[in-house]
């Protein structure tokens, strides 16, 4: 089995900290640009105090001044009538003017803060409120805006960090999941994944009616290879079988496995009998030619038959396939034997490779 070190499987903590520091630096730069843009935009907008002064000037100072000008220049025949008309007009306009003044002085800023908070609630943490340069004596609304900008910056930074951490966690989960179902020497799926996959695939094939084939493989005289050439040669033979199975099957449709030792399996889907036998023959020939130690393969082949196989289907299919493999080994090895009920005409007997294959 392949040894996986902690350094290979778990990312370096220093790299993670450096990535987090780079992320914080990038976020700080963006915040500085946002504040600079806010100062540029905010410098053109008067503050609450300036707007209140303007409203008081228009309400308190401008009407008496206008009335005095009209009286002094004789433009008004009756000052008393003018004042009465002015009072009636003021009473009629006090409600709409008060609303307009409130919106001009305060409610506009509150509406902007409310829209900003709504954007944060939607996850728009990049948003910033426009602000003037910071002064020593600022009103509470301006301080609130600055605090909200810093809050948005902090949440955005934390979200970026958490997103990176979540992506790294998911990557580790996929990595360890692959390790838990993969054989390290051959790169094939392991016995655990075989035991978990075959029952589900058998049930699915039985329900859909699509063909499902199981091939069990055994390396002939594998112990002799180990005894004569050593265990490194045996590992090379197993690795050659892994490459042969990967090269001879369809990715995404077929699934090759190493069950343990020199035993392998392949699940073939959606193939007629002739095609399944052709795949098994191709594996046998390619494996014999893939290594220099003279190792060969015996292959047993069986197709799921829901009408004949008893539940659980996976066990019944495996038993028939194992019996076919036993017949291939008993015939001298280096052969493909299909279950008699699944083989096409004249395909039930052992099929030996031709000379020079």
- Write out the catalytic residue numbers: 262
10 Å Cβ neighbour count for 66? 11
| Nearest of 159, 165, 128, 151 to residue 30 by alpha carbon | 128
Q: Classify 263 as helix, strand or coil.
A: strand
Tokens of 197: 């996959």
The Cα 16–Cα 11 span in angstroms is: 7
Q: What does the longest C-alpha to C-alpha distance in the chain come to? A: 132
DSSP string, 249-260: S-TTT-EEEEEE
DSSP string, 264-323: EEEEEES--HHHHHHHHHHHHHHHHHH-SS--EEEEEEEE--TTTSPSSHHHHHHHHHHH
Tokens of 83: 């004042």
| Nearest of 333, 326, 328, 319 to residue 222 by alpha carbon | 333
The Cα 326–Cα 24 span in angstroms is: 64
280 close to 264: Cβ distance less than 8 angstroms: no
305 close to 299: Cβ distance less than 8 angstroms: no
Tokens of 97: 């003017």
The Cα 44–Cα 131 span in angstroms is: 10
Tokens of 75: 């433009």
Return the axis-axis angle of helices 231-248 and 273-290, rounded to nearest 10°: 150
The Cα 190–Cα 194 span in angstroms is: 6
Contacts of 5 (CB under 8 A, 6+ apart): none
């Amino acid at each position: 089995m392949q040894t996986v070190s902690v350094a290979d499987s778990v990312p370096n903590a220093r790299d993670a900290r450096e990535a987090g520091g780079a992320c914080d630096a990038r976020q700080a730069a963006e915040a500085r640009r946002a504040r600079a843009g806010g100062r540029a935009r905010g410098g053109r907008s008067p503050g609450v105090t300036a707007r209140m002064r303007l409203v008081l000037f228009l309400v308190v100072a401008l009407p008496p001044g206008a009335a005095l000008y009209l009286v002094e220049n004789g433009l008004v025949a009756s000052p008393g009538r003018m004042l009465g008309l002015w009072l009636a007009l003021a009473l009629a306009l006090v409600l709409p003017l008060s609303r307009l003044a409130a919106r001009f002085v305060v409610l506009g800023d509150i509406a902007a803060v409310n829209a900003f908070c709504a954007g944060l609630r939607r996850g728009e943490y990049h948003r910033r409120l426009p602000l003037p340069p910071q002064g020593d004596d600022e009103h509470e609304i301006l301080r609130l805006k600055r605090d909200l900008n810093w809050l948005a910056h902090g949440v955005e930074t934390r979200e970026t960090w958490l997103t990176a951490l979540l992506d790294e966690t998911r990557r580790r989960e996929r990595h360890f999941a692959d390790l838990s179902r993969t054989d390290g020497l051959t790169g094939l799926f392991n016995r655990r994944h075989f035991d978990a996959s075959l029952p589900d695939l058998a049930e699915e094939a039985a329900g859909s009616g699509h063909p499902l084939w199981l091939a069990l493989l055994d390396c002939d005289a594998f112990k002799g290879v180990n005894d004569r050439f050593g265990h490194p040669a045996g590992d090379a033979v197993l690795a050659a079988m892994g490459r042969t199975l990967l090269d001879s099957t369809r990715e995404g449709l077929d699934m090759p496995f190493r069950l343990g030792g020199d035993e392998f399996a392949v699940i073939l889907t959606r193939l007629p009998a002739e095609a399944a036998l052709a795949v098994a023959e191709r594996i046998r020939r390619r494996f014999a030619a893939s290594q220099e130690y003279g190792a060969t393969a015996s292959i047993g082949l069986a197709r799921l038959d829901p009408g004949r196989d008893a539940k659980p289907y996976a066990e019944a299919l495996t038993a028939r396939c194992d019996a076919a493999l036993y017949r291939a080994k008993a015939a001298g090895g280096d052969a493909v034997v299909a279950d008699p009920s699944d083989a096409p005409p004249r395909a039930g007997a052992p099929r030996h490779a031709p000379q020079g294959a």
